[in-house]
Structure 1
Amino acid sequence: MLRIASASLAGTAIEFYDFFAYGTAAALVLGPLFFPAFSPLAATLAAFGTFGIGFLARPLGSVVFGHVGDRYGRRPVLLGSLLLTGIATVAVGCVPTYASIGIAAPVLLLLLRFLQGLGLGGEWGGAVLLTAEHAPERRRGLWSSFPQMGPPVGFLLANGLTLALSVTLTDAQFNAWGWRVPFWGAGLLALAGLWLRRSVEETPEFRALTETGRRAEAPLTEVVRGHWRLLLLTGGALAFGYAVFYAVTTWSLSYATGHLRVDRTVMLACVMAAVLVQGLATPLLAVLGDRWGRRPLCLAGSAVCAVWMFPFTALLQSGEPLLITLGCVVALFGMALAFALVGAYLPELYAPRIRCTGAAVGYNLGGVLGGALTPVVATALAEGSGPPWGVAVYLTLVCLASLVCFALLPETNPALVRAPAETGTGAAEAAAPV
């Protein structure tokens, strides 16, 4: 299990490194380099718009790779998604700026960001099912938290490299070529990930489906026709985590460096400290989920974030590094209360024959609802000289909506309800249809 979970963690870390490298670049440099004819605000909004394209592509990626995972196995998903995202990310680092090739520059940026999102949309489902379907029932939350540690690790890698470049290079050097280095580094990481995953075995549950001839012919059709309400509820439930995470890691970085004149390296350090706490807390919270259930911690996480968004905004507005760090730490800890468990929770909601599609589409639908628009909406709401209370209102409403969705979902912990393995269905179907 440790070998399997480590391969899963490495893959998600590399995939999310690619995704977050773009988010950091969008917050710091892409606006003036690729949209120079726009005003500073419009350029930032345009850069975050290209950032959001990746989220719109993720559900499509989860459909494509989910079909592969449910029809042909979880293992091909792990290799194909990693290769696609790695190639697209390296290519982003090679795109000439607007000054060199004009309108073709942002068009290429949009296309490559779309391919990034396509690959990442497939990665999560394959990585999570690799661990969830190998793990023993009573430790499924813990082992399935390994892929969930991938995003914090990927973020720290991407932003750690950006921070090092920011410290060692002048602004002119960073804007000229330094921002490209994290994208080029994705190539080496992708090769390392493919090497780690080369010997990963297919999961027992998919082998059983193959042997009994119970693989889904059209998994997306089954999910949409039979479980569309469950799909919408899982997407709505996870939206708050995306909104909070990208408000902390992307929008606040842009807002603090642009409006509050906080030094770029200082703000990167504040955000990285919060993400480090999130990553360290994830396996510990997953153990609690194995003991107490998935649903109670998910409810607690969305509630904590709903209560914290106004204090977070006030602490960010202070411009003081320690207060900013405190605001970010509590926000991401609340998000981790839920997201530490979704690697086990979402697969348990769906039957094995449609699990790769259902879990991945639900997860990435949450990304569209909560992550795609948050940096754009927050940037627009924060325009002006006063504190950005409109951002706090927006984030609070998203958290409350997710709280309602979690309240409508069933518990799935096999220790507390009838296990999916005993019924041949997802826990949601066995316990109570949604």
Structure 2
Amino acid sequence: MEDQRPQPPEPSGATARPPRRQLARAFTASLTGTALEWYDFGIYSASAALVFPVLFFPSGDPIASWLLAFSTYAVGYLSRPLGAFFLGKLGDVVGRKQIIVVTLLLIGVATLLIGVLPTFATVGVAAPILLVLLRFAQGVGVGGELGVAPLLSSEFGDPARRGLWCSAPQMGPAAGTLLANGVLALLTTAMSREAFLSWGWRVGFLASALLIAVGLWVRLKLEDTPIFRAIRERGEQPTAPVREVFRTELRGLVAASSARVGPDVVSALFVVFTLVYGTSKAGFTSGEVLVAVLAGSAGQLVFVPIAAALSDRINRRLQYVVAAVAAAIWPFVFLPAIVGASLGVLVGGVVIGLGLHSFMYGPQGALITEQFSPRLRSTGSSLGFAIGSTFGGAVAPLIFTALLGWQDSWFPVACYVAVACAVTIVGVTVFGRNHDMAEEAAYQPGPAMPARSAQG
């Protein structure tokens, strides 16, 4: 299918490529801010497996408690389209920088308030209701962050190296998960279970106040991206960006949304559900599983930039598909292998699983960003991230737990991962488009490049 989107006008000299210092600052702001936000999201995710079933959703049936706790985890994904709709589209209207400041504050305040929430034993049903509302706010912030953060670094850099520059926010979740699980592992080993459930779990949430302050300081010092400044100077900001994306760039939206589904489900398996499966079926303690997740997250800090840089040198979509196929197969090996196995087997299995995820997740920011034209990039990317997350990560822990309770077997769980990866493979292969360098050149100094259509 040929790309029929209108081409932008001639470039203006105001869009001269920024100095390398500004590029480094943009990369740092994107990485640190996203890492701190995903620390907040990660501390909640781990708590949904370890703490919330006991303190906010008490029940005589462990499976029922996990399902209730993971339903609040899902709320943080289901609210992402709202953040993408309201905050993501504003990234194309008022600027990238303003939006990432708002998202940082929204997620940080919500996380801080979770740290002071009363539990079910204190205020009854009001406790889980308040927890769900704050989780909803977290999701709105992440929905706005996901599509805008990759633009912050990539629009300052060379479009030919978009994979590498877009990897800054893709490294953020690994760094945030590493930090969140590290804090929880330290707390669970440094105190008794009674003390941890009494007050220790709150420390991780309250610590986010300092982290968010650092991220805010970094982001406020940053200028808006050269591409958005060029769009603004020409008066080309869209007036109805969501409607325009659905009308003119629906194909890119389908590809972007599909690209999220498989990686989100794979991540949920190894970062969240492994805490349940590892402790209830495989014979490990929660501390041992957290160590495995920590090792896998540390590995991602290495794998993600490597995968992102590799995608600048080979066909990005082909790399994505190959990684999705391998990630679909690995749970059939990993889940039965860790039952009754050593800690080394568990750690190795999680590291490999998250490594395969990295070869999709590393180039994901670039792959999704290049599905949309520059003037609709924030809206389209945000909607793609949010829609894909809703059908991927939002429901994955719930479905994993329900399948485990239904069959008391790992096999349906592995099949579910395979189906999710198949959705990604079809979406990226059939609907995805390759990067059109002419779209970037039109917003850079020098003679405009002739427009060319992108083949899917």
- What TM-score comes out, normalization by structure 2 length? 0.90
More helix by share: 1
Q: 1:230 aligns with which of 233, 249, 252?
A: 252
1:232 Cα shift? 2.4
Q: Which moved more, 1:82-91 or 1:269-278?
A: 269-278
Question: Aligned residue for 2:167?
Answer: 145
Give the alignment of 1:324-363 within 5 angstroms: 324-363=346-385
Name structure 1 gaps, 5 residues minimum: none
Give per-residue Cα distances to partners, 1:110-140, cap 9 Å, x unaligned. Answer: 0000000001111122221111111112222
Give the alignment of 1:75-224 within 5 angstroms: 75-224=97-246
Is the CA contact (8 Å cut-off) linking 1:26 and 1:48 kept in structure 2? yes
In structure 1, C-alpha distance between the alignment counterparts of 2:418 and 2:305, rounded to whole Å = 26
Task: State the one-letter code of the partner of 2:257.
Answer: G
Give per-residue Cα distances to partners, 1:50-92, cap 9 Å, x unaligned. Answer: 0000000111111111121111000101110000000000111
In structure 2, C-alpha distance between the alignment counterparts of 1:394 and 1:16, rounded to whole Å = 25
- For the pair 1:256 / 2:275, whether they are aligned, the reply is no
Q: 1:389 aligns with which of 411, 416, 424?
A: 411
Aligned residues: 428
Task: State the one-letter code of the partner of 1:204.
Answer: P
Question: Aligned residue for 2:439?
Answer: 420
Task: State the one-letter code of the partner of 2:118.
Answer: P
Is the CA contact (8 Å cut-off) linking 1:15 and 1:85 kept in structure 2? yes
1:180 Cα shift? 1.1
Is the CA contact (8 Å cut-off) linking 1:88 and 1:112 kept in structure 2? yes
Task: State the one-letter code of the partner of 2:453.
Answer: A
> Residues 2, 100 of structure 1: CA spacing in aligned structure 2 closer, same or farther, 3 A cutoff?
same
In structure 1, C-alpha distance between the alignment counterparts of 2:197 and 2:361, rounded to whole Å = 34
Q: 1:373 aligns with which of 395, 401, 409?
A: 395
1:178 Cα shift? 1.0
> Residues 315, 419 of structure 1: CA spacing in aligned structure 2 closer, same or farther, 3 A cutoff?
farther
- For the pair 1:431 / 2:441, whether they are aligned, the reply is no
Q: 1:245 aligns with which of 249, 252, 267?
A: 267
1:330 Cα shift? 1.8
Give per-residue Cα distances to partners, 1:165-195, cap 9 Å, x unaligned. Answer: 0110100001111111111011111111011
> Residues 316, 228 of structure 1: CA spacing in aligned structure 2 closer, same or farther, 3 A cutoff?
farther
1:258 Cα shift? 2.6
In structure 2, C-alpha distance between the alignment counterparts of 1:93 and 1:238, rounded to whole Å = 30
Give per-residue Cα distances to partners, 1:144-179, cap 9 Å, x unaligned. Answer: 111110000000110000000011010000111111
Q: 1:296 aligns with which of 318, 321, 329?
A: 318
Name structure 2 gaps, 5 residues minimum: 1-22, 444-450
Q: Which moved more, 1:386-395 or 1:206-215?
A: 386-395
- For the pair 1:54 / 2:76, whether they are aligned, the reply is yes
Is the CA contact (8 Å cut-off) linking 2:159 and 2:440 kept in structure 1? no
Query: RMSD of the TM alignment (CA)?
Result: 1.8
Give per-residue Cα distances to partners, 1:29-68, cap 9 Å, x unaligned. Answer: 1012111145221111000000000000111111111121
In structure 2, C-alpha distance between the alignment counterparts of 1:91 and 1:199, rounded to whole Å = 26
1:409 Cα shift? 3.6
Is the CA contact (8 Å cut-off) linking 2:42 and 2:176 kept in structure 1? yes
Is the CA contact (8 Å cut-off) linking 2:252 and 2:372 kept in structure 1? no
Question: Aligned residue for 1:279?
Answer: 301
Q: 2:427 aligns with which of 398, 405, 410?
A: 405
Task: State the one-letter code of the partner of 2:54.
Answer: P
1:313 Cα shift? 1.5
Q: Which moved more, 1:367-376 or 1:118-127?
A: 118-127
Task: State the one-letter code of the partner of 1:421.
Answer: E
- What TM-score comes out, normalization by structure 1 length? 0.95
In structure 1, C-alpha distance between the alignment counterparts of 2:238 and 2:151, rounded to whole Å = 16
1:204 Cα shift? 0.8
